[in-house]
Structure 1
Amino acid sequence: MTSQSERTGATRPAAPTERSSTDPRPLGEIRSWPRSFTDRLTAPLPGIGMLARLARTGQFRPAPEALDEIPDLPYEPGPLPAAGPATVAVTWVGHASWVLRIGGLTVLTDPLWSRRILGTPARVTPVGVRWEDLPPVDAVVVSHNHYDHLDRPTLKRLPRTTPLFVPAGLGRWCRRLGFTRVTELDWWEAAELPAPGGPVRFDFVPAHHWSKRTLTDTCRSLWGGWVLTDGAGRRVYFAGDTGYGHFFEEIGRRHPGIALALLPIGAYAPRWMLGPVHMDPEEAVRACADVGARRMAPMHHATFLLAAEPPLEPLTRVRAAWERTGRPRTDLWDLPVGASRVL
C-alpha cells in the first residue's frame, strides 16, 4: 500500500527542472538514454503479495452481473469532420486512441485498431473509425509501451515514413519496425513538425505510470503525456495513462490556455492496487482543473474491460463529478466511441 502523498506525488517532483527545454529538439534525433527509468516511479510497482491478493479477491474484472451493461456502452460512429489548418477537431476511436486534427495535420494518439490485445478480453465496443476511412496520417504520439497503448499490428499498418513521437527509450523498438522518422523525448522536451497552419509543437510531459512489455524490460522506456500546440497557439493535452499527481498544475503553468484535455477515467478498481497509476473519474475532473483546461474529453473506458469497475460506472461518475464543479455541461465532451467534436 502507498500513502496518499505517494499516490498524488505531493512529496516527489515529477521531473528535475534541469530537464526542461523551451527549444524544440531535432526531429529523428538518435539519442542515448539511461538503462532504466525506475527513478521516475512515484509508487512501488505491484509485488507478489499484491498480485496474490488480487487473485484471491478476484478484483481484476467486473462482477458477472455488471456485464449486462455492455450493450449500453456509448457507440455512435460518424464521419470525420472536415478540418483545415485553422480547425482543431477530435474523434474518439476508443480507449486512448483519438484522431486529432490540428494545424492541418492528422495525428493519432496511442493508435489501437486491434480487436484483442495480449492478456485482455476482446473489445466490448468496436473501433470507432474504420482504418480505411482515415485521412493520411501525418504523425503519431505514443504515451508508453503497454500493449493497450502501443499496438504493434496497428503501427505496422502505417507507412514507415510516418513521424512517430515517443517517450525516451522507445525509439529503438520503433526503428526495428522499420520507422525512419522517430523522435524520442524526455519530460519537458519538445519537437515541432511543419504543418499548413504553421509548425505544430509536440511537448512531452510527465505522468504517474510505468512501462513494460516483456519480462526483462520493466521501466526501460519512459511514460508520459503530450501537449500539442498549433500555429495559432491552440493547445490540446493528451494525458495518456496516469495516476493523479501535482505535476498537472506544473503542466498548466508551462502550457497555459489548454483548450481541451483528453483524460483517462477508467481501469481504476481496485484502488488499493491501481490508485497510483490510474485516475478515477473524480481525479480526472480535478486534473482538468489543475492543468487549466477549458474542456475535458474522457477516455480509457468503454472499450476494454481492464479492471473491476462496472463498464458504465466511469461515465456516470465523471458526469456527476463534473456537475459538482459547476462548470458548463457543454465543456464536458463525454463522447460516444466514434463521435467527433470540433473546437
Structure 2
Amino acid sequence: MLFKRKNPYYNPKKSHHTPYGFCNLEPTTIKQLDVYRWSLERHIHHLPKPPQQGYAHFAREWTQSPDFTLSGNRLWWISHATLLIRLNQCMIITDPVFSQRVSPVSFAGPKRRTQPAASIAELPHIDVIAISHNHYDHLDTASIRKLAARFPNINAVVPLGLKRKLHQLGINNVTELDWWEQTNINNIRFHAVPAHHWSQRSLLDRNHTLWCGWMMQTPEGSNTYFSGDTGFSEIMFRQIAEHFTSTDMAAIQIGAYAPRWFMHNQHIDPEQAVAIFNILHCRQAIGMHWGAFELADEPLDEPPQLLAAVRVRHGLLPECFESIKMGDSRPITSS
C-alpha cells in the first residue's frame, strides 16, 4: 500500500479488517510486476481477439429491448454488472454503469463494445442502488448522479467506506454495511456478504474501502444473490451457504477471467461460477460481467461458450444457469 491511512472502521476482532484498510479471508497479492507482464503479453499477442463474427454481429446477437411491463419478482440484465431486480415491488439496480468508458477519464480506458439495453431515462422507478465496490466498472459517478437526479428519494446500500462518495454524488439515503451486516429497505433485507476482491480508485487508496456481494431476501425467505466482482474462495462461499441454505436466483460473474495466472485472485471463470452455483444451492442463475467491456484477455463471446460446456460436464440443464441477452429477463421463483 503506497499510502497508509488509518482505517476508521478497524475492528481487530474481524479478520478482514486491517489497521489501514481491508483484506480478503484468504491472502491475495497483486504484484505490480505482474501487471506489467500482463500488459506486455496483451500487447505482444494483440489480445483480446474480437468475437468470432465481429463486434457488430455480437452486439446484435446478445442485445434486445427489455420489457419492463412484465410482472412479479424478476431479474433483468441491462449490461455488465448492471441488473434490475424486482422483489415484492421493490426495484433494485446493481452497480449501475451507463457510461461509454470505465476509467478515471472520459477519453481513455476500457470502452464499451455493446450498449446498455436501456438508458437511465428508460428505466422504471428505482427504489434502491446496490453497489459492490468502488472500481470504475462498478461505481460510475456519472450514472449515479443521473439516477439521483431522476429519483431524488432513491436509497443506496454500499460496503464500508463508500457512504461519503454516494452522498457527494447526490444520494441522500445511504446505508453503509460491513460483511454480514444487514438492513431493511422497502421490506427487503439486504445482506452484505463477503467477496474475494480488492478496491482502488486512485494511486493512494488501495483497499481503503470494502468490497462485497449482496444477498437480497424477501419476507417469505426467498434469496437473490448478486456476486459483484469476486475471485474463488471455497471457504468464503461455504460460509455464505451456511448463512443462506438456498438461493432462488443468482447473478454470478462469468467474464474477465483470462489469463488465469493473473486474474484468478480477483475474477472467477465459468467453471468456478458453476462451483459457486452448486455451493450456494442455487435454483437458477444467470451469468453477468461479460459482453460489454474488454477488461481481460478472453474474447467477448467466449464466456457463454465456456459456461455451456461446463454446464454439460456438470449435468446442469440450460435453464439452470443461463447466458441471457442484455435486456432479457427471468422470473424469480421461490422454492
Provide the residue aligned with 2:180 in structure 1. Answer: 188
Cα distance in 2 for partners of 1:203, 1:64 equals: 38
Matched, 1:47 2:47: no
Question: Does 2:165 match 1:173?
Answer: yes
Per the alignment, in what secondary structure is the counterpart of residue 228 of structure 1? strand
1:119-150 Cα offsets, whole Å, 9 max, x none, are 53321111112322211110010000000000
**2 CA distance for matches of 1:35 and 1:111?**
31
Whether the 8 Å CA contact 1:243–1:275 is kept in 2: the answer is yes
Asked if structure 2 preserves the Cα contact closer than 8 Å seen for 1:62 and 1:305, the reply is: no
In structure 1, distance between residues paired with 2:18 and 2:145: 27
Aligned to 1:311: 300
**Structure 1 residues 168, 35: CA separation in 2 closer, same or farther (over 3 Å shift)?**
farther
- Give the corresponding residue for 2:78: 93
Per the alignment, residue 4 of structure 1 pairs with none
Residue range with higher mean Cα deviation, 116-125 or 329-338? 116-125
* Structure 2 residue corresponding to 1:115, chosen from 85, 91, 100: 100
1:72 equivalent to 2:64? Answer: no
For structure 2, the residue ranges without an aligned partner over 5 or more in a row are 1-10
Q: How does 1:25-40 map to 2 (within 5 A)?
A: 36-40=20-24
Residue range with higher mean Cα deviation, 157-166 or 73-82: 73-82
Report deviation, 1:44: 3.7
* Partners of 2:120 and 2:147 within 8 A in 1: no
Instruction: Normalising by structure 1, report the TM-score.
Output: 0.84
Q: Which has the higher contact order (CA 8 A, sep 6+)?
A: 1
Kindly indicate whether the alpha-carbon contact (under 8 Å) linking 1:263 and 1:297 is maintained by their aligned counterparts in 2.
Answer: yes
Q: Which runs of 5+ in 1 are unaligned?
A: 1-15, 21-32
Offset, 1:320:
1.1
Tell me if the contact between 1:19 and 1:189 (Cα under 8 Å) persists in the aligned partners: no
C-alpha spacing 1:106/1:63, structure 2 compared with 1 (3 Å): closer
> What does 1:124-203 align with in structure 2 at a 5 Å threshold?
124-159=113-148, 160-194=152-186, 199-203=187-191
| Counterparts in 2 of 1:307 and 1:39: CA distance versus 1, 3 Å | closer
The secondary structure found in structure 1 opposite 2:164 is helix
How far off its partner does 1:161 sit?
A: 3.0
Query: Which residue does the alignment assign to 2:207?
Result: 219
Separation in 2 of the partners of 1:103 and 1:19? 34
* Residue 338 of structure 1 pairs with residue 323 of structure 2: no
Identity %: 32
Residue 235 (structure 1) aligned to one of 215, 223, 238: 223
Equivalent position amino acid for 2:126 in 1:
V
Contact 2:99 2:140 in 1 (8 A): yes
The change in CA–CA distance for 1:65 and 1:178 in structure 2 (over 3 A counts) is closer
3-state DSSP class of the match of 1:329?
A: coil
Q: In 1, distance between residues paired with 2:282 and 2:258?
A: 26
C-alpha distance in 2, partners of 1:305/1:110? 17
What's the secondary structure of 1:58's corresponding residue? helix
Query: Residues 146 and 213 of structure 1 are in contact (CA less than 8 Å); yes or no, is this contact kept in structure 2?
Result: yes
2:194 is matched with: 206
Q: Deviations over 1:31-60 (max 9, x none)?
A: xx9763333363444223112212331269
The whole-number CA distance in structure 2 between the counterparts of 1:180 and 1:88 is 27
1:104 equivalent to 2:89? Answer yes
